[in-house]
Chains A and B, each alone.
Chain A
Amino acid sequence: EVQLLQSGGGLVQPGGSLRLSCEASGFTFTGYAMAWVRQTPGKGLEWVSAFGGSGDSTYYADSVKGRFTVYRDNVKNTLFLQMNSLRVEDTGIYYCAKERFVECRHFDYWGQGSQVTVSS
């Protein structure tokens, strides 16, 4: 059974940092790209970042480029999102998601979500 167990998150002041973790099980972690998606208050879903399944390709939304870093530990089957220079508008629920490529790339499994609150 595929599981994505998230940890991290919390309350931080503007300009601060947080790290989110997503521990994967039930599938061959190195065989799949993984991503982070967030839902901000009053808004919908926003794709944040992704780490390719093969190699070390990383991708970011313009809104977080230069502030967030996605990386993975293939020994611990864990995806991370290091968030620096946090802004109030980064507040939201962050989900990790597993990509699958059939017809096109999409997210077939999701973590339970981590609350990130940026406030003074």
Chain B
Amino acid sequence: DIQMTQSPSSLSASVGDRVTITCRANQSISNYVNWYQHKSGKAPQLLIYGASRLESGVPSRFSGSGSGTDFTLTINGLQPEDFAAYYCQQSFSTVFTFGPGTKVDIK
């Protein structure tokens, strides 16, 4: 199976900060990476698909980049509602895998 790693595992940030989360695959997966936001007690929400495509309705402060093995999720101007866990997920293989997640909390 394709393994996904994320860093950092957690971070503390302030409203207005720029936050960057990285995700790495253990083999090349082209642009088959998606990013989700997950808040406790709620269903996960798709933010970015195909490494860099912003899902409809998602604020433009979220952006994604990367291809091959290294990917990045950036939040430009963190908002109070953005404090949550973020997961990358690969769909290059028929067995999907998620990264271990990055928890973003308030500094």
Residues of A within 8 A of B (CB): 35, 37, 39, 43-47, 50, 59-62, 95, 100, 102-108, 110-113
CB–CB A44/B99 < 8 A: yes
Our pick among B50, B85, B94 for the contact of A59 (Cβ within 8 Å) is: B94
Q: Which residues of B contact A95 (CB under 8 A)?
A: 43-44
Closest Cβ–Cβ distance, residue A44 to chain B (whole Å): 4
Q: Among A37, A107, A111, which residue has the most Cβ atoms of chain B within 10 A? A: A107
In the complex the two chains form, what is the Cα distance from A21 to B30 in whole Å? 34
Beyond A103-B31, A103-B49, A103-B53, is A61–B43 a contact (Cβ under 8 Å)? no
- DSSP class of B's interface residues: helix, strand, loop or mixed? loop
CB–CB A102/B53 < 8 A: yes
CB–CB B100/A44 < 8 A: yes
CB–CB A104/B1 < 8 A: no
- DSSP class of A's interface residues: helix, strand, loop or mixed? strand
In the complex the two chains form, what is the Cα distance from A108 to B101 in whole Å? 18
Q: Among B43, B44, B85, which residue has the most Cβ atoms of chain A within 10 A? A: B43
How many of chain B's residues have a CB under 8 angstroms from any CB in A?
A: 30
Q: Interface digits, B30-62 against A, CB 8 Å rule (1 contact, 0 not)? A: 111110101000011110011101010000000
Is B91 on the interface with A (CB-CB < 8 A)?
A: yes
- Residue of chain A at shortest CB distance from B100: A44
CB–CB B34/A104 < 8 A: yes
- Residue of chain A at shortest CB distance from B46: A108
In the complex the two chains form, what is the Cα distance from A46 to B32 in whole Å? 17
- Could you tell me which residues of chain B, from 11 to 40, have a CB within 8 Å of some CB in chain A? 30-34, 36, 38
Q: Which residues of A contact B43 (CB under 8 A)?
A: 95, 110-113
- Could you tell me which residues of chain B, from 69 to 107, have a CB within 8 Å of some CB in chain A? 85, 87, 89, 91-92, 94-101
Beyond A37-B44, A104-B31, A106-B34, is A47–B95 a contact (Cβ under 8 Å)? yes
Q: Which residues of B contact A46 (CB under 8 A)?
A: 98
